Structure 1
């Protein structure tokens, strides 16, 4: 009971809006709404507490009581409506996000509607970008109800202001995530938002949105888009800046209605897509793999590049080296799979770079046209698609030189595909080519009409038919008048079925000839200046009424108009002179007017016309519209100057065309030289590898020769040792006693020889292991053996132990020498055989 008796209305308003009792807050909200509504201006005192402390309205819109919250959001709408731009800017950064998070999830329809109204006021009073930037992050919230409500608010914003006021880029970018949401209500609101965007953006939305959706969703959206196709949406609300501009226009006498903003150009889908940096992601070994001798390595390289460039939009960078590598691959690679994928890479690069790809046309176009000789359909289609993508980034004038050149190619397939490319290009251009370009194309197509291959003739006729559709049958007549009826009928048939988008270029209308109208008059009411050229033209063939008489216009009036249109300057000077000299400016109409004014009737004498003017005078002035001699001379000079200017202009145009042709030719030569340079570098690398291989082989052969020399030296040492052994045996035989059997001495010498040979073999093995490190000691040992300082010491026999005189018979000495000679000859034969084997190796 005590609480009910408390009067909370005595509390300050700033305390009541944050009071713990919801009814107190509700009453405070209603009171401030009334104050805002009845305020005198935006600077009223009722706005100040909330402008100085924006957090108050953050607490108001997030009120825990649903009734108080609805009243609080209603007070926010009134605050924005009557507080103006200052109120919007002060509260926007603090209030928008809490307002969306708490107001759009309310169970009350009124709270939701007032939340949307507040958001629309936030946009209307200043700009849409800050508000949309605050709303878009809420689409990632985990609460489906909040995401659906936020999507609905975006749809209302687009519906009220349109995509020409609210930039749709961020909203379109968030749509695929909304369509992939698990909640059904979110997907339904996303569909409604997409339909509203389609009304404003048209097919541009399809190109950006549909590729990221599931096939079922694509089908549903296509049907929904078809149901609203052709609907012209109207902007329902306007920004304050737009309203002020309209008010200023109304103050200047414009229409009283609020006009919508001027029509802008059609929305480009690529403006809604972020560009991808492709140049920095190209693999480091890409160019090495492209130059590999294995086709699989080249195929993998272009496959990787195709995956990298298959993006809607590519940021501009330096792609000169990449385009040259692709051009070389397309022109010279023998594997059609590699060529097809390389052409696909060129297509994706051209579509991604768009207009920025035009500067690479001269590098790649010649290779694409040259490879059109490939008869496989898949390769021709890939090359044609790449050329079409390059054409979208350039113009017909840029491709004209290549088209005319390759339409004269010796290969019929190249001529046919080039003509078909020309047909596709003519269908896509938006402006009619120049007369000189049309003549060059018609002359080249006329040559194709006489080709021996039927597909080439058909392609040439189709190209001329498309040109006829573009410029008209009358303009095409000079180019087909010399053709037979069969070819004319072919061209006419293609013309009937052709579709073109080109329109003639708009020519600026000449300004009205107002110079003559400003000529001063003389004797106001008595003598008036002659009518202007435009007036004379309008009056030609119409009788002139003056002073109650009808006067037929003289021939001078009918001739004056073309002269005036030819040179306004000359006519202006002439009119000024005639005005200064009334005698020279006397025309039939002037004389008649003056006579009528003076009251003296014209005399009817011979040689005078109905107007009283001498016929000879009229005849003398009829040649140049009544111009004086100076005017005639000036007119002749101007005509001569015009003819000279036209002739010089034609000469300059011819020089420009010649320079353009030379530039194109030089560009093509540069491209060819670059390709030849790359080929020479490749051949030089191959030669260097071959030289290195031969040097390796030469080093190996030299090592083998050194080994052979070492083996020969070894065998030579064995031969010398054998000779020494034979001499030793001879000495032992000569020094053996008479009582000892010569056979025992022979056996003893043979065993000694075998022992020495085994010792020699061991020594040679050790020398081989130590790389001939002990050659000199072994040689010294052998020298001592040869000199007889070390003799064999058999254990059981000594030739000098018996005390004999050491004499031997002559027969035994001869036999020992024969045996030594045989051994020596055998060793020599073995050495020769080994030398021969080494030489054969």
Structure 2
């Protein structure tokens, strides 16, 4: 009961909006909403507490009570609606993010709708970029309901303001992530957002979005896009700046045009929303080598790899001059149509990706594409035409004028037909009507096509003429078709009725407003009756003495008559008047008027006669033609006019000299260009020769490496064979020693030392050592044959008699069976002879192998 008796309305509004009792907050929200609605201006005191402390509204929009929250967000809408731009800018950075996070997930439909209305007001009162930047991070939230609500709010923003006012670049980046979300409601909201974007952006959205989606999603979006294709959305809400611009335009156009005036935003190219990809570093390093290969499969693989690299929506600008030159050469000279088709596709992809940056490479490929249009295979012709169309989109019709006029005179009928069809496609898509001189050149070329012997060529020429007529109109086309026969006129008219063009006349800048007329004094106006108009430049004016102050009075009737005869008479020293360049009729009329009019009447004639320029009139230079007080009364040029004439002559001389200098520079540049072209051709020829030489060198090196590998294998085999023969020699030597006599300790030690020495040597050193050792052994073998006999003689010198012929047997003491000593000695000698022969044969074979290896 105590709480019900407390009157909270006496508390300050800043305390009630943050009160702990939700009913008190609800009443406070309703009260401030009423105050905002009934406020007199943006500077009303009811706005001040919330402008000075924006965190109050942060607490209001995040109220824990759903009813109070809805009322609080409604008060925010009223605050923005009546508080103006200042209210928007003060609260935007503090309130937008909490408002979206708490309001877009509410179960109450009113709260969600008021949240969207508040966001739209935040955009309308200033600019959309800060609001969108505050909302986009919420799309990464883990709560699917909040992500779906934020996507819905973005769709409502695009629907209300359009992509011309709200740049969709940052939204497009977030769309693939929304389509990959696990929650179906998020994906559904992403689909509706994509459809709304497609209404504003059209087909370019497919290029941006569909490549990152799954095939099923691509199919669904394609069907949804087809359902809304052709609809033209209208901007429902306008920024405050746009509203003011529309109001000022309506005020300047008058009350009748006020309703029709609507703010127009600057057109946004959807391709500007795509991130450029740097593909220059992804081109294969051996691309140019493979393109120069003699095998068509290598060239096909090279252009296939290039096409995969450059097939992106937007390419970062880099130096593709060499790549385009190679592709142009391939299109012009390659004999394989598959390689030509892929090269044309690569040119198309580069032109579409680089867009206007590809214009500087057009000249290196356009002529090759036109020349190759003679191919009869439809797939090749379509690829070449698509490449030409992509190049035209990157340049203009004026850039292709030379090629079009040249190839419409080609000797091949198919080239002429395809060139004319390319011209038709250009005329259908060009946005500005070509110049009159270009129209005449095109019409002359098409007129020649109308007389061609091939029917497709005549039809293409007539279609081009009909498209031109649709562009410039029937009346402007009359001089170009007036001399044609009725049959050709009928063909042109048929194509004219079905042609579609979008070209408009080039906008001409409005001329500057005329300068205000120079004011003259009353004395000048009074003396204007006696002052003739200045003489035309180039007519020599005779000098005259200045007349007296009463020269305009009634002293002479001819003089007065001269002053009223449209300034055709000039003062001369010998007479009051003189006639210069007057026709016979005008002279007669002047004489009649001077004979009938009295001097007094003529002297009082008005100054502004038919021949005298009115006051304030200006000549071609903008200088007033009415004379000032300083002008002489005899009609000479004023000082200012003389100075101006001198300045004009000086400017003309400067322009003439500058023009001559420019012509000289152009001639020099043309000569330099021709020289550079020759040097380029020489460099290209030299480069081709160097490439061929390099290829031959590579083949030669590979052949040498193969020979070296084979020789190394043969050398290893020879070394193995030598080692085998050495082992056989050692075995034969050992057998020979066993047959001759038991080896002494000295000989055994020497042999062991020799074997150890050979084992530590290299194969070549071992062969040399073996050769030397074999010669030494050969000499020592005969000594060993004689040495045992001498030893035996000294051994048995004590009295035992042994036949002398038995002293030659080295194994006499071991023959227990008493074999014949002569036969044993003969066998030993034969064994040593065979050993010597084997040794000599081995030595000869080793020398032959060494000589063979050295020759290799």
Quickly name the TM-score band, shorter chain normalised.
0.5 to 0.7
Q: What residue number does 2:690 align with?
A: 681
How far residue 139 of structure 1 moved from its aligned partner, in angstroms, is 3.9
Counterparts of 2:655 and 2:363, CA distance in 1: 33
Q: What residue number does 2:264 align with?
A: 263
State the superposition RMSD in angstroms.
Answer: 6.6
Counterparts of 2:514 and 2:262, CA distance in 1: 35
Secondary structure at 1:214's aligned position in 2?
helix
Counterparts of 2:258 and 2:183, CA distance in 1: 44
Decide whether the 8 Å contact of 1:450 with 1:457 is kept in 2: yes
Secondary structure at 2:395's aligned position in 1?
coil
Counterparts of 1:653 and 1:103, CA distance in 2: 69
Instruction: Select 1:215's aligned residue among 219, 222, 226.
Output: 219
Q: What residue number does 2:276 align with?
A: 275
How far residue 58 of structure 1 moved from its aligned partner, in angstroms, is 1.9
Q: What residue number does 1:117 align with?
A: 117
Q: What residue number does 1:782 align with?
A: 775
Secondary structure at 1:69's aligned position in 2?
helix
Q: What residue number does 2:169 align with?
A: 169
How far residue 389 of structure 1 moved from its aligned partner, in angstroms, is 0.6
Secondary structure at 1:430's aligned position in 2?
coil
After superposition, residues 695-710 of structure 1 pair within 5 angstroms as 695-696=704-705
Q: Which runs of 5+ in 2 are unaligned?
A: 553-558, 569-586, 598-609, 614-633, 727-735, 741-750, 794-801, 808-828
Show CA shifts across 1:649-673 (max 9, x none): 9999999999999899778767755
Q: What residue number does 2:430 align with?
A: 429
Secondary structure at 1:388's aligned position in 2?
helix
User: Residue 613 in 1 paired to residue 593 in 2?
Assistant: yes
Counterparts of 2:488 and 2:252, CA distance in 1: 62
After superposition, residues 342-357 of structure 1 pair within 5 angstroms as 342-357=343-358
Q: What residue number does 2:362 align with?
A: 361
Quick check: 20-29 or 44-53, which moved more?
A: 44-53
Decide whether the 8 Å contact of 1:412 with 1:456 is kept in 2: yes
Counterparts of 2:20 and 2:287, CA distance in 1: 70
Provide closer, same or farther for how the CA distance between residues 584 and 237 of structure 1 changes in structure 2, counting only shifts above 3 A. Answer: same
Quick check: 125-134 or 255-264, which moved more?
A: 255-264
Q: What residue number does 1:322 align with?
A: 323
Provide closer, same or farther for how the CA distance between residues 470 and 794 of structure 1 changes in structure 2, counting only shifts above 3 A. Answer: farther
How far residue 128 of structure 1 moved from its aligned partner, in angstroms, is 1.8
Counterparts of 1:629 and 1:771, CA distance in 2: 122
Decide whether the 8 Å contact of 2:567 with 2:611 is kept in 1: no
Show CA shifts across 1:489-510 (max 9, x none): 7767666665544455456687
Counterparts of 1:442 and 1:649, CA distance in 2: 36
Decide whether the 8 Å contact of 1:513 with 1:568 is kept in 2: no
Quick check: 486-495 or 31-40, which moved more?
A: 486-495
Counterparts of 2:660 and 2:403, CA distance in 1: 24
Decide whether the 8 Å contact of 2:532 with 2:635 is kept in 1: no
Q: What residue number does 1:71 align with?
A: 71
Decide whether the 8 Å contact of 1:148 with 1:185 is kept in 2: yes
Provide closer, same or farther for how the CA distance between residues 374 and 516 of structure 1 changes in structure 2, counting only shifts above 3 A. Answer: same
How far residue 358 of structure 1 moved from its aligned partner, in angstroms, is 0.7
Q: What residue number does 1:60 align with?
A: 60
Provide closer, same or farther for how the CA distance between residues 481 and 83 of structure 1 changes in structure 2, counting only shifts above 3 A. Answer: closer
Decide whether the 8 Å contact of 2:77 with 2:117 is kept in 1: yes
Counterparts of 1:184 and 1:709, CA distance in 2: 79
Provide closer, same or farther for how the CA distance between residues 609 and 292 of structure 1 changes in structure 2, counting only shifts above 3 A. Answer: closer
Counterparts of 2:713 and 2:182, CA distance in 1: 79
Counterparts of 1:31 and 1:419, CA distance in 2: 75
Secondary structure at 1:57's aligned position in 2?
helix
How far residue 393 of structure 1 moved from its aligned partner, in angstroms, is 0.9
TM score, norm. by length of structure 1: 0.66
Provide closer, same or farther for how the CA distance between residues 504 and 678 of structure 1 changes in structure 2, counting only shifts above 3 A. Answer: farther
Provide closer, same or farther for how the CA distance between residues 671 and 135 of structure 1 changes in structure 2, counting only shifts above 3 A. Answer: farther
TM score, norm. by length of structure 2: 0.65
How far residue 689 of structure 1 moved from its aligned partner, in angstroms, is 1.6
Show CA shifts across 1:237-265 (max 9, x none): 442x4455667778989659698664345
Secondary structure at 1:773's aligned position in 2?
helix
Provide closer, same or farther for how the CA distance between residues 419 and 520 of structure 1 changes in structure 2, counting only shifts above 3 A. Answer: farther
Q: What residue number does 2:701 align with?
A: 692
How far residue 69 of structure 1 moved from its aligned partner, in angstroms, is 1.3
Provide closer, same or farther for how the CA distance between residues 429 and 35 of structure 1 changes in structure 2, counting only shifts above 3 A. Answer: closer
Count of matched residue positions in the alignment of Structure 1 and Structure 2: 740
Q: What residue number does 1:586 align with?
A: 564
Secondary structure at 1:85's aligned position in 2?
helix
Counterparts of 1:281 and 1:385, CA distance in 2: 24
Show CA shifts across 1:631-664 (max 9, x none): 9xx9xx9xx9999999999999999999999899
Counterparts of 1:104 and 1:348, CA distance in 2: 43
Q: What residue number does 1:558 align with?
A: none
How far residue 62 of structure 1 moved from its aligned partner, in angstroms, is 1.6
Provide closer, same or farther for how the CA distance between residues 140 and 218 of structure 1 changes in structure 2, counting only shifts above 3 A. Answer: farther
Provide closer, same or farther for how the CA distance between residues 709 and 487 of structure 1 changes in structure 2, counting only shifts above 3 A. Answer: farther
Show CA shifts across 1:43-77 (max 9, x none): 56554543444333222212222221122222223
Q: What residue number does 1:18 align with?
A: 18
After superposition, residues 648-797 of structure 1 pair within 5 angstroms as 672=681, 675-693=684-702, 695-696=704-705, 770-775=763-768, 778-779=771-772, 782=775, 785=778, 790=783, 792=785
After superposition, residues 457-468 of structure 1 pair within 5 angstroms as none
Counterparts of 1:421 and 1:388, CA distance in 2: 7
Counterparts of 2:563 and 2:187, CA distance in 1: 84
Counterparts of 2:445 and 2:40, CA distance in 1: 79
Q: What residue number does 1:313 align with?
A: 314
Secondary structure at 1:315's aligned position in 2?
coil
Provide closer, same or farther for how the CA distance between residues 476 and 608 of structure 1 changes in structure 2, counting only shifts above 3 A. Answer: closer
How far residue 347 of structure 1 moved from its aligned partner, in angstroms, is 0.8
Q: What residue number does 1:130 align with?
A: 130
Counterparts of 2:279 and 2:527, CA distance in 1: 82
Provide closer, same or farther for how the CA distance between residues 568 and 361 of structure 1 changes in structure 2, counting only shifts above 3 A. Answer: farther
Decide whether the 8 Å contact of 1:246 with 1:259 is kept in 2: no
Counterparts of 1:196 and 1:530, CA distance in 2: 74
